[in-house]
Amino acid sequence: MNLVAPNIIPAIPEITLLGLACLILVVDLFVEQHNRIVTYLLSQASLLIVFILTLSTFTGGETQFTFNNTFIRDAMSDVLKMGVYVAVFIVFLYAKDYLRQREMFKGEFYVLGLFGVLGMMILISAHNMLTVYLGLELLSLSMYAMVAMQRDSETASEAAMKYFVLGAIASGMLLYGMSMIYGVTGSLDLGEISHKAAAVANQPLMVFGMVFMIVGVAFKLGAVPFHMWVPDVYHGAPTSVTLYIASAPKIAAFAMLMRLLVDGLLVLQPHWQDILIILAIASMGIGNIVAIAQGNLKRMLAYSGISHVGFLMLGVLTGQQTGFAASMFYALSYALMSLGGFGMIVLLSRKGFEADNLADYKGLNDRSPWAAFMMLIFMFSMAGVPPFLGFWAKLSVLKEVVATGNLLWLAIVAVIFSIIGAYYYLRIIKLMYFDKPEDTQAISADIDLKVALSANSLLVLGMGLLPGGLMALCITAMTHH
Amino acid sequence: MFVDWPILSLVIWLPIIGGIAVLATANESRPMQARGLSLLVAILTFILSIPLYSDFHLGTHLMQFQENTRWISAFNINYHLGVDGISMPLILLTTFMTVIVIVAGWEVIKFKQSQYMAAFLIMEGLMNGVFAALDAALFYVFWEAMLIPMFIIIGVWGGPNRVYATIKFFLYTFFGSVFMLIALLYLYFKTGSFEILAYHQYKFGLGPQTLVFIAFLLAFAVKVPMWPVHTWLPDAHVEAPTGGSVILAAIMLKLGAYGFLRFSLPITPDASHSLDWLMIGLSLIAVVYIGFVALIQQDMKKLIAYSSIAHMGFVTLGFFIAWRIYANTGEYKGVVMGIEGGMVQMISHGFISGALFLCVGVMYDRMHSRMIKDYGGVVNTMPVFAAFMVLFAMANTGLPGTSGFVGEFMVILSSFKANFWFAFLAATTLIIGAAYTLWMVKRVIFGDVTNDGVAKLQDINRREFMFLAILAFMVLLFGIWPAPLLQVMDASVVNLVAHMTQSKL
């Protein structure tokens, strides 16, 4: 028996991050609480390092396999990973003050966050059903623990419990589906499955397995009817953790959808297209309609996130390369907008006060015109009003749906739901601009949070004016799918 | 000397950047600074827009002052601007009315002056963008972005029921526009580009044409607004601050009519032809029924709002009787007159309705009421104002010698060539319009002083005199000498008529 050393080059960023996260775990033990900033800085530095590593080895199209084809590195994985790093970098930045004020400024948050990033990276680069599962579980376990970090808070514990139980069921579903696919094709390798699937595509067990796998992915994405955990977890978790859950994992979940359905089961596209259409319509519908009834901003943004997932799936379900690129653009844009929206909650919260009720936004324009304007940008962007990034995200997926020729009705359904959705975003603007403030306390936040949030909002506006670069990047990243 | 300048970009971006500058230098304690800077930007923009008229080449229907650069190559979207005889007068109207609105909001706005002024400047730039865009995606971006400042204007500085009105305004227009987006995406899918001029040449069957036409209709009919999707307008007008009402009536309503000329008629001529009975019917309902609705209004702003809907009915009537005239006469002359009549009506209504809203604003600032019953005998205490108000009211009824007459007369005249009964119904507006406008004037302006409030009224000050006088001059100028306006639009309209009477099937 020959032992051939695997080519570790494609997985260098993952290996580096694993090492750095373990290092931080150890270093954190020796850091006094008043020096905890060291942990924070090291975590940010780690993200920066892996970003540079990924960027400097960006293949731009060449696909590499390693570890017996269980691990893939292609343009899509590189771009999505960089999106994840940036998102988590912003999360750590926004969360710093918030954690400090609530005595949660501990090393665990950062270590768990970094392990979550590692999980996402593995998920994004998975080319084997076991790798998918490995990445997914690493991500999920980190997130369960993060939600539960505020252990004296009842809502947080409840949210963590709910998240864990439902997440475990979804993982079970996913595994069950994988086992069926394995049973039919005799392989766990997504590349081999896609070769063999054509011959066995008509077997009911194949479609059964696919359905169970979609359940698992839909749960991660938070698509209706597997969305029940989303509002409770977003609401119950500390806002710093909500920031995390609502941004980067959506990018990873999109990658999971791509890996399983496109890389693995593209021949079953007519089957999964129908399922995704139903999921998309249900998500856009339930998400947008129920969001109207929410009085809590975190819950409202949770339902809004569900509706965005519906839109995101519109691109994938076309089964076209350009459609995948459009969905990828949507996932990255949504992560940026979602960070901004939850970032605003962090900005307006202070010690002992959570600015997560809609009423807390009354008269924000009187208190701070700039904060109100930033929120206006995020809200109009999520509503899909130009000239903001969210508009181009919607435009690009709708364009793909229209281009299929036979799904024009779906585009019309989607825009009708986006009109309904506009209402609750407008309500936030109404509270900020047309009402008198109830809370008159000055907004106190560290300068780095203010600057970062300003940059975030200007990016949503700036990329709304010039979205071409990111779009071109997404199209390049998808050329091999 | 201005020929080489990117004038269209300047009239779009100068006010937007100026608006941002006003916001950035905002200082609640020194409102004069915001006002002064805003006025400067508005006047500068107006001056910059003048070369669009003075350097305009008559006799060609081709787009002028074109600018075309790649914007988003992944989607084949260009930053393509240009004007023809149809859009150029509307840009001038926009830059002109914005100056008036800034002056009109001078002392009247008591809080957040800089945000108020900035919102109007940004909106000016966006509206100019809508008129100048030759790329459908660019057009849509401006078209939708425009809602944001208007939403804020009505919601922040509006009347007691402003929140309801502004959300209704936003959702109605958003509802209409998203279907247009689907239609534009469909055309992109078919032609591979977002160029509006390429859509004009694209030939497709009656079925898809009808669907595209209906999608456009939803967007433009809400904006015009046509019966039965007009209900947002009275609410928005009543609650909006004076400046907001002026911009709404003078320019935003024109966007819908402009959309018909730029999109519906040339892109879907056959669908427009086959559905012209619907459009003519809706236009006549607007003219006659809405006229009667205006008659019973108690609130002056609501009355003018309904009168706006009726007048816009004339505009759409002028556009959509085209095929009937062509079928009856077999020549373009009558068709051109109908469309040009609609265009003149658009410009003229911009001045007249703007002026009337300003008049109501002048009274409202003094009495804090828009109700007709709270007034009476205003002429006794405000003689100069009364003279202006009566002039604009007369213009609204279409008195010869005012600009209101020219457009209405041209449309009625050309509708005779289509069908006697169209002309008959359209002409009733001369009676109904006179009835509601003059009855309002009689109750508000004339008669004895009815209450102490009116007795204490001060006549208009120099600032108010200035903007009313300028508008009065414009109304009379285009009433007596509409030729410059007609010359400018002639070549473009003739080309449009030749294009739309040619079947694409």
pLDDT digits (tens, 9 = 90+) for A409-448: 999 999 999 999 899 999 999 999 888 888 777 777 788 8
B251 in Cβ contact with B93 (< 8 Å): yes
Mutate to test the interface with B, among A419, A458, A470, A478 (most CBs of B within 10 A): A419
Q: How many CB atoms lie within 10 A of CB B448?
A: 8
Which residue range forms the structural domain that includes residue A70? 9-479
Tell me whether A398 touches chain B (CB under 8 Å).
yes
What percent of chain A is modeled with pLDDT above 90?
57
Q: Which residue of A has its CA nearest to B186?
A: A402
Mean pLDDT of B193-200: 89
Q: Work out the pLDDT band at A60, boundaries 50, 70, 90.
A: low
> Do the chains contact at B186 and A402, CB–CB below 8 Å?
yes
Closest residue to B74, CB basis, from A369, A416, A468: A468
Q: How far is A402 from chain B (nearest CA, A)?
A: 6
Domains contained in chain A, number: 1
Mean pLDDT of B242-258: 89
Closest residue to B182, CB basis, from A415, A427, A471: A415
Rounded CA separation A86/A117 (Å) = 11
Tell me whether B465 touches chain A (CB under 8 Å).
no
Q: Who has greater pLDDT, A52 or B238?
A: A52
pLDDT number for residue B326: 86
Residues of B in contact with A405 (CB under 8 A): 189
A:B CB pairs within 8 Å: 96
pLDDT number for residue A278: 94
pLDDT number for residue A106: 85
Q: How many CB atoms lie within 10 A of CB A385?
A: 26
In a domain, A381, yes or no: yes
In a domain, A266, yes or no: yes
Mean pLDDT of A394-403: 92
What are the angstrom distances between the C-alpha of A51 and each of A14, A443, B83?
11, 33, 47
Give me the residues of A, 324-383, that contact B with CB < 8 A.
365, 369, 376, 380
Q: How far is A395 from chain B (nearest CA, A)?
A: 8
Tens-digit pLDDT profile for residues B159-190: 788 888 888 889 988 988 999 999 999 999 88
Tell me whether A122 touches chain B (CB under 8 Å).
no
The residues, ordered by sequence, that sit 6+ positions from B207 with a Cβ below 8 Å of its Cβ are: none
CA A394, distance to chain mean position in Å, is 17
> Do the chains contact at A471 and B72, CB–CB below 8 Å?
yes
Tokens of B329: 């006469």
B137 in Cβ contact with A387 (< 8 Å): no
ipTM for this model: 0.90
pLDDT number for residue B426: 84
In a domain, A4, yes or no: no
Instruction: Indicate the pairing of strand A71-73 with strand B64-72.
Output: unpaired
Tell me whether B145 touches chain A (CB under 8 Å).
yes
> One-letter amino acid identity for A434?
F
Tell me whether B43 touches chain A (CB under 8 Å).
no
User: Could you give the dihedral angle defined by the CA atoms of residues B318, B321, B325 and B330, in that order, rounded to the nearest 10 degrees?
Assistant: 100
Tell me whether B207 touches chain A (CB under 8 Å).
no
Q: How far is B182 from chain A (nearest CA, A)?
A: 7
Tens-digit pLDDT profile for residues A85-134: 999 999 999 998 888 888 888 888 999 999 999 999 999 999 999 999 99
> Do the chains contact at B141 and A422, CB–CB below 8 Å?
no
Rounded CA separation A244/A339 (Å) = 8
Closest residue to B74, CB basis, from A403, A411, A475: A475
In a domain, A3, yes or no: no
Instruction: Lowest mean pLDDT of A278-282, B31-35, B147-151, B355-359, name the range.
Output: B31-35
Q: Who has greater pLDDT, B282 or B418?
A: B282
Q: How far is A403 from chain B (nearest CA, A)?
A: 6
In the predicted model, is pLDDT for residue B28 greater than 80? no
Instruction: Indicate the pairing of strand A64-66 with strand B64-72.
Output: unpaired
CA A142, distance to chain mean position in Å, is 15
Whole-number mean pLDDT of chain B? 87
In the predicted model, is pLDDT for residue B4 greater than 80? no
Tens-digit pLDDT profile for residues A254-283: 999 999 999 888 888 888 999 999 999 999
Q: How far is A370 from chain B (nearest CA, A)?
A: 10
In a domain, A283, yes or no: yes
Tens-digit pLDDT profile for residues A139-197: 999 999 999 888 788 888 999 999 999 999 999 999 999 999 999 998 999 989 988 88
